[in-house]
Chain A
């Protein structure tokens, strides 16, 4: 699986959009970009994933650059409950492919 690079920490004001970047310059053509988050002392929660098109769901939007070497997860209106560690993972999308977690970004939402 391709390696990802994320900033170790970020702050965002409550109510503002939180934009979390991820670099995956060695991503290959059949690898998807996945985002998970982990709230303190809980299991990770799936957020969103995409291949090359931008994706949106009820939780977030995922913007993938045209060359697919980086992406941004957008939480449109951050709340205090969005404080968590956010993990960007790239992997192929078939079979029993395992998820390999990096160090992630610790996002703190400030009141």
Chain B
């Protein structure tokens, strides 16, 4: 299957700072990428969908000015958590889909964000 890589795997940051998480499709071109958030013992919650070269579509209740998503190329999408607060501490996961691989979505390994 296709490989999706996230960086970093974990990050600790101070409250009020911004953190950028990268999601790369290593062996395919991802026309669509999805960003999820997962709190402990809960399921994945979709935050936004991004298509290369266009603005992301955010799910209801997700602040687009706080969670900035950039999908500048077919192999890279970034999620920036701006002015992070302890309640933003979570497991952030991206997934990517490419037409050549059908419609299955492939997931990155996730990024554990801890805001102190």
**Chain A: residues with CB nearer than 8 A to chain B?**
34, 36, 38, 41-46, 49, 87, 93-104
| Set of chain B residues within 8 Å of A34, measured between Cβ atoms | 104
Interface size on B, residues (CB 8 A): 27
| Set of chain B residues within 8 Å of A44, measured between Cβ atoms | 44, 93, 95, 107
| Set of chain B residues within 8 Å of A95, measured between Cβ atoms | 103
| 10 tightest A-B CB contacts, nearest first | A43-B107, A101-B44, A101-B43, A96-B32, A44-B107, A43-B110, A43-B93, A46-B104, A43-B109, A43-B108
Contact A41 to B93, CB < 8 A, known contacts A46-B106, A97-B103, A99-B34: no
Q: What is the chain A residue whose CB lies nearest that of B110?
A: A43
Residue contact A42 to B103, C-beta cutoff 8 Å: no
Contact A98 to B43, CB < 8 A, known contacts A42-B110, A43-B107, A46-B104: no
Q: A42-B109, A43-B110 are in contact. List 20 more A-B contacts (CB 8 A).
A: A36-B107, A38-B44, A43-B4, A43-B107, A44-B44, A44-B95, A44-B107, A46-B104, A87-B43, A93-B103, A94-B103, A96-B51, A96-B97, A97-B103, A98-B34, A99-B46, A101-B36, A101-B44, A103-B43, A104-B43
